[in-house]
Structure 1
Amino acid sequence: MTKNMIQFDHVSKIYQDKAVVDDISLTIQEGELITILGTSGSGKTTTLKMMNRLVEATSGKIYFNGQDIADLDAVALRRQIGYVVQEIGLFPHMTVAENMAIVPKLLNWDQKKIDQRILELMDLIQLGAEDFSHRYPSELSGGQQQRIGVARALAANPNIMLFDEPFGAIDAITRGALQDQLLAIHQKLRDKTFVFITHDIYEAFKLGTRVLIMDEGKIAQFDTPEKIMAKPKNDFVKKLIETARDQQTLWGAVHA
């Protein structure tokens, strides 16, 4: 039976009388890779940050694994949810292994268990522990740093991983490789739920089992990439898809 990992029930977030997120309801199931797509100011980052209580909802209910997150300790909740951002935020004075061990140490894991977990994660992200675990962030490429960021977020084995435009500052070639690797990681961790923000329609449709399209704080459409492309729900979604198709046509004409 499919388990609901995240549920929003008529959730709004209001800043200075403006609804940044406006009465949204949605359900994300265990094992899904959900991409959230929208223009700047559409409410996608606020929606993501409400999932781990970095932003508190103004109204409505949010459930994590069946529990109302308002009833949970915010710090304890965040330790159950991995979080990866564009800036990565690796500590420069710590080695790769030390960066990855931060949350397990906070959870009082013993050192043997931490060491074993680091080996597992280095294997998962395809960076050899022998070569990389003792390096410092400054000794890594941008793509390698981002992979370590993903591994660090996975270290305490969270049920949910949140990604806030993690590949936005990465060059196009590396970005494509990271997307492929993220899909491979998600395939291996079938019970993990990933929620991934992007403003890139190609990235959203490549990665997402379902795509949540947001516009002015509301859900414009939430469905599989195939169904969105076949039946866009409104003019905003239709225009989004038409723009992507026009770009693809132009690219094809340039390289014909």
Structure 2
Amino acid sequence: MTQELLTFEGVGKSYGDLTILSDLSFSLFKGEFITILGTSGSGKTTTLKLMNRLLEPDSGKIMLEGQPLAEKDPVALRRQIGYVVQQIGLFPHLTVRDNIATVPKLLGWDNARINQRVEELLTMVQLPGVDFAHRYPKELSGGQQQRIGVARALAANPKMVLFDEPFGAVDAITRHHLQEQLKNLHRSLGDKTFVLITHDIHEALYLGDRVMVMDKGRLVQFDRPEEIVSSPKTDFVKSLLATVNRQEKLLGGMT
């Protein structure tokens, strides 16, 4: 039976007179890969930051495994939820090993357990510890840094990992490889819920088990990729799909 992990109930967020989110309601389930798609200013990042209490809602309620998110200690909560951003945010003065070990150290893990976990994660992201554990971020390519960012987010075995446009700063070929690796990683982990923000409809449809399409602070469609393609619910969703069709026609004309 599918279990609910996170639920938004009528959530709203504003800054002064500027409404960012309006009456946002949805549920995420354990083990899903969710992509959030929308243009700049649609409320994607605000929605993500509400999930780990980097922001607080002005209205509505957010529940995590049936418990109000507002009742959870925000620092402890963030140590239980992985977070990967476009800028990666690796500490330049720390080795790869110590970057990955950041949260386990805060949680009081012993060195033997940390070392074992670092080795597991480096193997998982296809960067063997013998070659990479003692390097520094400046010695890695952009794609390698991003994979270390993913490993760090998984270090404390979180139930959920949040990704804020993680591949936006890498080239197209590297981005394609990272998408494949992330999809395979999620599949291999089985019980982890991934939530990834993107403005790229190809990325959203490829990665997501379900895709949230946001427009001007509202959730306009939340469906499986094939349903979004076959039955777009709004003109905005149709316009996103039209960009895919135009690109495919352009590429077709070049072959």
Which TM-score tier does this pair reach, normalised by the shorter chain?
A: over 0.9
Q: For the residues of structure 2 that align with 1:135 and 1:174, how far apart are their CA atoms?
A: 20
Q: For the residues of structure 2 that align with 1:103 and 1:170, how far apart are their CA atoms?
A: 26
Q: For the residues of structure 2 that align with 1:192 and 1:239, how far apart are their CA atoms?
A: 32
1:112 equivalent to 2:103? Answer no
Q: For the residues of structure 1 that align with 2:156 and 2:144, how far apart are their CA atoms?
A: 20
Q: For the residues of structure 1 that align with 2:122 and 2:65, how far apart are their CA atoms?
A: 28
User: Which aligned pairs between 1:58-77 and structure 2 lie closer than 5 A?
Assistant: 58-77=58-77
The equivalent of 1:247 in structure 2 is 247
1:159 equivalent to 2:159? Answer yes
Q: For the residues of structure 1 that align with 2:79 and 2:4, how far apart are their CA atoms?
A: 19
Q: For the residues of structure 2 that align with 1:135 and 1:61, how far apart are their CA atoms?
A: 43
The alignment-based identity, stated in percent, is: 62
Q: For the residues of structure 2 that align with 1:203 and 1:243, how far apart are their CA atoms?
A: 13
Q: For the residues of structure 2 that align with 1:49 and 1:79, how far apart are their CA atoms?
A: 14
User: Which aligned pairs between 1:175-214 and structure 2 lie closer than 5 A?
Assistant: 175-214=175-214
For structure 1, list consecutive stretches of 5 or more residues without a partner in the other structure. none
SS in 2 for 1:134: coil
Q: What's the CA shift string for 1:158-197, capped at 9, x where partnerless?
A: 0000000000010000000000000111011110000000
Q: What's the CA shift string for 1:121-176, capped at 9, x where partnerless?
A: 01100101000000000000000000000000000000000000000010000000
1:139 equivalent to 2:173? Answer no
The equivalent of 2:96 in structure 1 is 96
For structure 2, list consecutive stretches of 5 or more residues without a partner in the other structure. none
Q: Aligned-pair distance for 1:251? A: 1.4
SS in 2 for 1:94: coil
Q: Aligned-pair distance for 1:64? A: 1.3
The equivalent of 1:174 in structure 2 is 174
Q: For the residues of structure 2 that align with 1:251 and 1:61, how far apart are their CA atoms?
A: 45
CA RMSD of aligned residues (A): 0.6
Q: For the residues of structure 1 that align with 2:94 and 2:74, how far apart are their CA atoms?
A: 26
Following TM superposition, the consecutive aligned residue runs of length 4 or more in structure 1 with deviations greater than 2 angstroms are none
